């Protein structure tokens, strides 16, 4: 990464004169696909999280199961005894 006349241990961030331009461009070209995949995966995860939250809210409204409140309190209100209760 260091220019031919520069000691690699003496490299200073933000000083373009100390960096070999060709090596820098090659490194950036190699990293570009990985950065693109990383950014795309981030946005895909945001979309999945959004739909997850929407699904939880819809389930809460449709079923009235108190899923969200039970998550915080640890107590779920049941309209009838559970089927597996003895």
Return d(Cα 50, Cα 47) in angstroms, integer. 5
Residue 58 belongs to domain spanning: 33-73
In the beta sheet, which residues pair with residue 2? Answer: 19
- pLDDT recorded at residue 17: 83
Each residue's pLDDT tens digit in the chain (86 positions)? 788 888 888 888 888 888 888 988 998 899 999 999 999 999 999 999 999 999 988 888 887 777 787 888 888 777 778 788 76
Residue 63 forms part of a structural domain: yes
Does 45 fall in a domain? yes
Number of domain units in the chain = 1
Claim: this prediction has a pTM higher than 0.85: no
In a domain, 61, yes or no: yes
- At residue 34, the pLDDT reads 95
Sign (positive or negative) of CA dihedral 32, 34, 36, 38: negative
What is d(CA 22, CA 68) in angstroms, rounded to the nearest whole number?
Answer: 55
């Amino acid at each position: 990464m260091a220019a031919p006349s520069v000691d690699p241990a003496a490299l200073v961030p933000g000083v373009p004169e100390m960096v070999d331009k060709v090596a820098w461009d090659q490194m950036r070209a190699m990293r570009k696909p990985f950065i693109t995949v990383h950014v795309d995966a981030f946005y895909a995860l945001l979309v999945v999280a959004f739909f997850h939250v929407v699904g939880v809210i819809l389930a809460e409204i449709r079923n009235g199961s108190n899923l969200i409140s039970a998550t915080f309190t640890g107590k779920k209100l049941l309209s009838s005894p559970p089927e597996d209760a003895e």
